[in-house]
Amino acid sequence: MDIKQQLSVDKSSDKTDSASIEKGTVRRGLEAWAKKLSVEAGGIERVTDEERLSNTTHVWNACTFWLSANMAVATLSTGMVGGSMGLSFWDCFAIILVVNIASCLLPAWTASFGLTGLRMTTFSRYSFGYWGNLLVVIFSMVSTTGWNAINSISGASVLSALSDGKCPQWAGVLIICTTVWIICVLGISWIHRLDAFLWISPFVVWCVAAGTGAQNFHGDAVKSPTGPNGAAAALSFMAVVFSFAVSWINCAADYNVKMPANTPRYKIFWATYAGIFVPTVLVQTLGAALYSGVQANAAWKHAYLAYGVGGPLKMALEPAGGFGKFLMVLAALSSIPNNIPNNYSFAMHAQNFGPWALRIPRVILVTFGFVAAVIVGCCAARFFPEATLQTFLSIIGYWTVVHIVVVTEEHFIFRRGRWSLYDLDAWSKQDLLPFGWGAIGAFCFGFLGAALGMKITWYTGPIAELIGKKGANLGHELTFAFSALTFPLFRWLEKKYTGK
């Protein structure tokens, strides 16, 4: 090599070193600012006991987080479904109360899994297997995107009703989703700080709406059908209420991974249970009451047909005058904390696709989830009824039953309820985790049960159509039965022939 060539190589090396140093400096600077602002930088990597000593999550955060998430207009909309199915207010109230007493136990239990330091869809690898868990990942991502869109549409309908249609629903969806995205980019520490207070304003809204709208509520405005038709309507509404509560199963653990490892599990359980049960029952009951006003008052019915859930809420708050309009804005904004679990956990789900996905920064995946929710929400608000999207998500929702069945049976049957039998450091090691044949088999049989018992807009299963003239939704019950009976057998065979 002559002198000129040597000088050329030296200059090239200097430029490369300079670029590397500059890049490293910029990265360290960004990391320093992120740390100073408490912006979450990590992903689904297991949170160690030492890492939990900084930005620690407290037990009361498990309560306020879910208070904020469920004290929402989407919860109000869910409560109105029973009346639309032909059930009286008091029948709706009985179903809301009884079903939530039982169904809220499930996400409250899975919330305690966060003490492992692993997010829920990552922890599922120990039962679904490294590759079988991709079913959980895919269905979780689709589900969270869909519910993100539906919840945003619920809030957008309130803004549309308040503005007499001047604020189109797609604009409301964009406002809500953008705000959610900003909070989720900041990460879990900021989420818990904000959710400590975000439940208060919608709670005030619902209290005032209950007071100012009470004169228009009529417990006997709707007469429940009797016999098989009454049973069919009741079973279908029970499925709706059940689905709402258990939809949090796939992400409940995500928000407790920074709690100290010695936190008693029962405290997390009861804090989460209260945070989900109390607002869900109160707000869904108010929704059922609002629908009774729709059936008894022509003006309320017109408002409901024009704006959805936002219509009767506007009518209920009308006596409050200008203050009522302000409360309508707060009601619409309640969709923000309602959607935080969907957008934040979307990124955590996505990182479970494999080592390559783990290298994608959480912020990018949160942004991808935000874009997907905006596209789906705006298109749904503009081109097809919300009921169409809800029908699709009802089908997707049956997988949640399979999810909790497989995780529960793996824990109590194959690991004898002992947390010490989980090698928590093996969460990313394919050779130490099962493939997932047992869970895949249970998943397939679970959906067979769903197909036999589901009742949706365009399909009624052969077993579902046996009850009443229109059929009853028995999809969750049959999904549970089919998956619960088959998983122990398939998992035993998997362990016998693979040793994992």
Q: Say yes or no to pLDDT of 29 above 90.
A: no
**Range from 131-145, 385-399, 481-495 carrying the lowest mean pLDDT:** 385-399
Please give the single-letter amino acid code of residue 136: V
**pLDDT interval class at 33 (50, 70, 90):** low
* HSE of 350, CA atoms in CB hemisphere, 13 A: 23
Q: What is the DSSP letter of 198?
A: T
Residue 102 is encoded by which pair of tokens? 């039982």
Can you state the angle between helices 475-498 and 437-453, rounded to 10 degrees? 160
% pLDDT > 90, the chain: 58
Please name every residue paired with 460 in a beta bridge, in sequence order, or none if there are none: 455
Q: Mean pLDDT throughout 380-388?
A: 65
Residue 213: predicted pLDDT: 92
For residue 69, the one-letter residue type is A
Residue that wins the pLDDT comparison between 226 and 157: 157
Give the tokens for residue 312. 């009767």
Residues 120 and 125: their CA atoms lie apart, in Å, by 9
Tokens of 355: 């080592």
Q: What is the pLDDT of residue 103?
A: 94
Percent with pLDDT over 70 in the chain: 90
Q: Work out the pLDDT band at 23, boundaries 50, 70, 90.
A: very low
Q: Is 459 helix (H, G, I), strand (E, B) or coil?
A: strand
Average pLDDT over residues 476-492: 94
Question: Can you say whether the dihedral through the CA atoms of 316, 319, 323, 326 is positive or negative?
Answer: positive
The pLDDT tens digits of the residues spanning 255-287 come to: 999 999 889 999 999 999 999 999 999 999 999
Is it the case that residue 499 has pLDDT exceeding 90? no
pLDDT of residue 498 exceeding 80, the answer is yes
Dihedrals phi, psi of 461, to nearest 5 degrees: -65, 160
Whole-number average pLDDT of the chain = 87
Give the DSSP H/E element, type plus range, for residue 42: none
Nearest one of 146, 195, 189, 184 to 365, comparing CA atoms: 184
Question: Given the structure tokens 């928590």, which residue do they identify?
Answer: 424
CA distance 234 to 144: 27
For tokens 């429940």, name the residue. 224
Q: Residues of 396-424 as b/e, b for ≥16 C-beta within 10 angstroms? A: bbbbbbbbbbbbbbbbeebeeeeeeebee
pLDDT confidence band for 175 (50 / 70 / 90): very high
Residue 150 has pLDDT above 70, yes or no: yes
Greater confidence, 97 or 42? 97
| Residue ranges of domains in the chain, CATH in brackets | 45-498 (1.10.4160.10)
Tell me the average pLDDT across 388-394: 60
**pLDDT grade, residue 26 (50/70/90)?**
very low
d(CA 236, CA 383): 27
Q: What is the mean pLDDT of residues 226-253?
A: 88
Report CA-CA distances (Å) from 105 to 112, 177, 274, 276, 451. 11, 29, 10, 9, 26
This prediction has a pTM of 0.89
- Reported as a single tens digit per residue, the pLDDT across 423-448 is 999 999 999 999 999 999 999 999 99
Instruction: Determine the Cα–Cα distance for residues 495 and 499; give it in Å rounded to an integer.
Output: 5
349 has a pLDDT exceeding 60: yes
**Cα dist. 306→16, 274, 377 in Å?**
63, 35, 18
**CA 281 from chain center: how many Å?**
17
**Quick check: 178 and 399 in contact, CB under 8 A?**
no
